[in-house]
Amino acid sequence: MKDGPDIAQMAALIGDPARANMLTALMSGKALTAGELAREAGISPQTASSHLKKLLEGGLLHLRGQGRHKYYGLSGEDVAQTLENLMGLAAGRGHLRTRTGPNDAEMREARVCYNHLAGSKGVQLFTSMQTRGFLDVSTDSVILTAPGSEFCSAFGIDLDTLSKNRAPLCRPCLDWSERQTHLAGKLGRAMLARMEDIGWVSRKPDSRIIRFSRAGIQAFDKQFGV
């Protein structure tokens, strides 16, 4: 094999159906126990333990202990973005694991992508901010402009606190259902958290689905109309 990153190893880790189910379950941003992940994957706890060991060794998961319990989560936003891209590729080629169901429309409208807003509402937010000159996407990166900083501060985002973290402020993330960009990075996470704090949205239990309140959808469309 030629020198360079071993994409075959990463593909093999993600490509196993049980491990893929586990990783997808963690796209909600919520840490889960080995037992919970075993149920998500439809496998025994013993088999799940073997899969989780491989994912940890491969650097796709991190493990946290709290009391007697151990919780697994994705090791970073780059892993979540890779999974989101793979979902888009699979969906675009017609590789769907289940038929369209009642939750599908909700998932496509608004869902959490690890820690930020995805779906048509996530794309709407990104498009609105770009159109209004709040985001500069003239290069491969996404940059928050001066007017964008003013807008975010007025929206209740503490940019000073965000700047203390060395992680990227803005990152583009390709939405698997919309095939367009939504906002990831520290700002994407902060925007979703702010919408939760002011009661615009809530998370459907045990799901990635984000639900807008009636007042929340009106306020969101007014703030991020395109």
Unique residue bearing structure tokens 């939750």: 103
Structure tokens at 39: 């149920």
Q: Residue 195 has what pLDDT?
A: 98
Tens digits of residue pLDDT in 18-28: 999 999 999 88
101: confidence class by pLDDT, cuts 50, 70, 90: very low
Provide the sign of the torsion angle of the four alpha carbons 55, 22, 123, 220, taken in this order: negative
Rounded distance, CA 112 to CA 117, Å? 5
34 pLDDT exceeds 60? Answer: yes
| CA distances in angstroms from 47 to 53, 54, 69, listed in the order given | 10, 11, 19
DSSP string, 61-114: EEEEEETTEEEEEES-HHHHHHHHHHHHHHHHTT--SS---TTHHHHHHSEEET
Segment 40-50 mean pLDDT = 93
CA-based nearest residue to 118, from 36, 174, 35: 174
Length, in residues, of the chain: 226
Burial class (CB in 10 A: 0-12, 13-18, 19+), 199: exposed
Strand partners, 209: 111
Tens digits of residue pLDDT in 123-170: 999 999 999 999 999 877 899 999 999 999 999 999 999 988 888 899
Segment 10-24 mean pLDDT = 92
102: confidence class by pLDDT, cuts 50, 70, 90: very low
105: confidence class by pLDDT, cuts 50, 70, 90: confident
- Supply the Cα-derived Rg of the chain in whole angstroms: 18
8 Å CB contact between 76 and 16: no
Q: Residue 87 has what pLDDT?
A: 84
As a whole-number percent, the residues of the chain with pLDDT over 70 amount to 93
Structure tokens at 127: 């498009």
Rounded distance, CA 113 to CA 4, Å? 29
Put simply, whether the predicted model's pTM sits higher than 0.85 gets the answer no
Query: What b/e sequence results for 130-147 when a residue is b if at least 16 CB atoms lie within 10 Å of its CB, and e otherwise?
Result: beeebbeeeeeebebeee
Cα 144 from chain centroid? 20
- Sorted by sequence, the CB contacts under 8 Å of residue 203 that are 6+ apart come out as 28, 112, 196, 209, 210, 211
